[in-house]
Chain A
Amino acid sequence: MKGRLNKGVSSPSKFAAALAPFLLVAILALLPLLEPGSETIRLLFVTFVWVTVSVAWNLLGGFGGQVSFGFAVFYGLGAYAAALSLNRGISPILSFLLAGSVAVLASLLVGLPTFRLKGPYFAIATIGASEAVRVVMTNVSITGGASGYRIMETGTFHQLQHFYTALALAVIAMAISILVQRSKFGLALIAIREDEEAASDLGVNPFRAKLLAHALAAALTGAAGGVYARYAAFIHPQGVFAFSVGVAILLMPIIGGVGTVWGPVIGAVVYGLVHEELIASFPQLHLLLYGSLLILIIFFEPGGVIGLLEKSFRVFAYTRRLSGSHPQR
Chain B
Amino acid sequence: MAPILSVDRVTKYFAGLAALKEVSFELRQGGIYGLIGPNGAGKTTLLSIVAGALRPTAGSVIFQDRRLSGAKSFRAVRAGIVRTHQIPRPFRALSVLANISVGSRFGLHAQRSASGTRDERRILEWVGLAHVAYIPAATLSVGDQKRLELARALAARPKLLLCDEVCSGLTESETLSVLRLLREIQQAGTTILYVEHNLKAIMSVCDHVIVMNYGRKLAEGSPEAMQNDPAVIEAYIGRTAGT
Listed in ascending order, the chain A residues whose CB lies under 8 Å from chain B are: 1-2, 4-7, 182, 184, 187-188, 190-191, 193-195, 197-206, 259
Supposing A1-B93, A5-B95, A205-B74 touch, asked if A187 and B53 sit within 8 A by C-beta, the answer is no
Out of B73, B115, B136, name the residue touching A200 (CB < 8 Å): B73
Out of B77, B93, B94, B112, name the residue touching A203 (CB < 8 Å): B77
- Bound complex: CA A4 to CA B94 (Å): 11
Is there a chain A Cβ closer than 8 Å to B72's Cβ? yes
Chain A contacts for B51, CB-based, 8 A: 201
Chain A contacts for B53, CB-based, 8 A: 197, 200-201
**By the criterion CB–CB under 8 Å, are A191 and B102 in contact?**
yes
B203–chain A nearest beta-carbon distance, Å: 28
**By the criterion CB–CB under 8 Å, are A199 and B91 in contact?**
yes
- Bound complex: CA A7 to CA B77 (Å): 31
Chain B contacts for A197, CB-based, 8 A: 53, 73, 89
What are 14 of the A-B contact pairs (CB < 8 Å)?
A2-B93, A5-B98, A191-B94, A199-B102, A200-B77, A201-B73, A201-B83, A201-B85, A202-B102, A202-B107, A203-B78, A203-B82, A203-B107, A203-B110
Is there a chain A Cβ closer than 8 Å to B67's Cβ? no
Chain A contacts for B108, CB-based, 8 A: 203
**By the criterion CB–CB under 8 Å, are A203 and B103 in contact?**
yes
Is there a chain A Cβ closer than 8 Å to B191's Cβ? no
- Bound complex: CA A200 to CA B71 (Å): 10
Supposing A201-B73, A202-B103 touch, asked if A7 and B134 sit within 8 A by C-beta, the answer is yes
**By the criterion CB–CB under 8 Å, are A203 and B92 in contact?**
no
**By the criterion CB–CB under 8 Å, are A203 and B98 in contact?**
no
Please name 6 further chain A to chain B contacts, defined as beta carbons within 8 Å, in addition to the given A2-B95, A187-B115, sorted by A numbering: A2-B93, A5-B133, A202-B74, A202-B77, A203-B77, A203-B82
Sort chain B's interface into a size bin. 35 or more
**By the criterion CB–CB under 8 Å, are B74 and A200 in contact?**
yes
Is there a chain A Cβ closer than 8 Å to B238's Cβ? no
Supposing A184-B105, A198-B89 touch, asked if A190 and B94 sit within 8 A by C-beta, the answer is yes
- Bound complex: CA A201 to CA B115 (Å): 19
Chain B contacts for A259, CB-based, 8 A: 93
- Bound complex: CA A204 to CA B74 (Å): 6
**By the criterion CB–CB under 8 Å, are B82 and A202 in contact?**
yes
**By the criterion CB–CB under 8 Å, are B77 and A201 in contact?**
yes
A208–chain B nearest beta-carbon distance, Å: 9
**By the criterion CB–CB under 8 Å, are B77 and A190 in contact?**
no
Supposing A202-B156, A204-B74 touch, asked if A5 and B115 sit within 8 A by C-beta, the answer is yes
A8–chain B nearest beta-carbon distance, Å: 9
* From B78, B94, B107, residue with most partner A Cβ within 10 Å: B94
Q: Is the interface of B mostly helix, strand, loop or mixed?
A: loop
Out of B82, B83, B91, B112, name the residue touching A195 (CB < 8 Å): B91
- Bound complex: CA A150 to CA B196 (Å): 70
B197–chain A nearest beta-carbon distance, Å: 21
- Bound complex: CA A182 to CA B112 (Å): 12
- Bound complex: CA A6 to CA B133 (Å): 10
- Bound complex: CA A4 to CA B97 (Å): 11
Taking CB as reference atom, which chain A residue is nearest B93?
A: A194
- Bound complex: CA A9 to CA B116 (Å): 17
Is there a chain A Cβ closer than 8 Å to B216's Cβ? no
**By the criterion CB–CB under 8 Å, are A198 and B91 in contact?**
yes
Taking CB as reference atom, which chain A residue is nearest B113?
A: A184
- Bound complex: CA A58 to CA B16 (Å): 42
**By the criterion CB–CB under 8 Å, are A203 and B156 in contact?**
yes
Chain A contacts for B72, CB-based, 8 A: 200
Is there a chain A Cβ closer than 8 Å to B152's Cβ? yes
* Binary CB contact string for chain B from 58 to 83 against chain A (1 if under 8 A, 0 otherwise): 00000000000000111001100011
Taking CB as reference atom, which chain A residue is nearest B89?
A: A198
Chain B contacts for A184, CB-based, 8 A: 105-106, 112
Is there a chain A Cβ closer than 8 Å to B10's Cβ? no
* Binary CB contact string for chain B from 125 to 138 against chain A (1 if under 8 A, 0 otherwise): 00000000110100
**By the criterion CB–CB under 8 Å, are A204 and B115 in contact?**
no
Pairs A-B, 4 closest by C-beta atoms: A203-B106, A194-B91, A203-B77, A198-B89
Chain B contacts for A4, CB-based, 8 A: 115
Chain A contacts for B107, CB-based, 8 A: 202-203
A221–chain B nearest beta-carbon distance, Å: 25
Chain B contacts for A195, CB-based, 8 A: 89-91
Out of B92, B97, B153, B156, name the residue touching A194 (CB < 8 Å): B92
Taking CB as reference atom, which chain B residue is nearest A199?
A: B102
- Bound complex: CA A187 to CA B76 (Å): 20
Chain A contacts for B83, CB-based, 8 A: 201
B151–chain A nearest beta-carbon distance, Å: 11
A201–chain B nearest beta-carbon distance, Å: 5
- Bound complex: CA A2 to CA B115 (Å): 12
Chain B contacts for A190, CB-based, 8 A: 91, 93-94, 98
**By the criterion CB–CB under 8 Å, are B152 and A202 in contact?**
yes
